[in-house]
Structure 1
Amino acid sequence: MANRKTIEHCMIFELFTIKDFFSYFGDGYCIEMPSNKTKLDNLLNYLSTQKAVWKFYATLTNGTWFHGIHITFQNEKRIKAETIMQNICKILGIGSYCVYAGGTQTIIDAEGDVIAFVDFSEM
């Protein structure tokens, strides 16, 4: 029998208030974290090939937890990043993703159309 190595994973979580979400994460893209391990593995493999940087987060609002992933792309133009995000929607079978830019949040559907917009820049 071959020797098997056990790989241990460690995560560190930082706690901050929801109003500080943008100031902590900055510009980028957000999606709901898939609960299916295979989908999550496929997503993280795809993000790695695209040289993306991601952070996991969880928010608690009115007693409801939301688990998400904040994604940024180094040296990618916005059009290329939007195409990558549309591919992510297909990989995960989701209908939309969020874009955080300069204190605004825009929700984009899987086809690239804006479906909602919020301006947090005055906060």
Structure 2
Amino acid sequence: MRPTLLILPALALLAGCASTGTTSRPARAGPIPIPTGTLGLEGVLGQNARGLVARFGTPTADLMEGTARKLQFSSATCVLDAYLYPKGSSEPTVTYLDTRQTDGSPIDRASCVSALQMRARTGK
């Protein structure tokens, strides 16, 4: 019986170490809004063909399909396909961009735009 008597006081001491109150958690920061993918593309979306050529230089490809037009620009870093569509009787403007690395893997559209602008400025 003696071992049982020794265990009871030890358990009582351990019970005193237990927390009886609730602990408060630090406040978490709210979610950070992420742009919808057009940040850095303001100078391209809505641009006409002349504006794209002024920004990126001569396109690698220029394709027409009905009233739609696709201009493709490329560099050692990436390929950009700009799709131009008319609104009513106005001149076609860029309404959609598709970008990819030269090996076909994905790349951020704004990064590709920056790379193409740099190539146009430096000629490399």
Give TM-score, length-normalised by structure 1: 0.29
Give TM-score, length-normalised by structure 2: 0.29
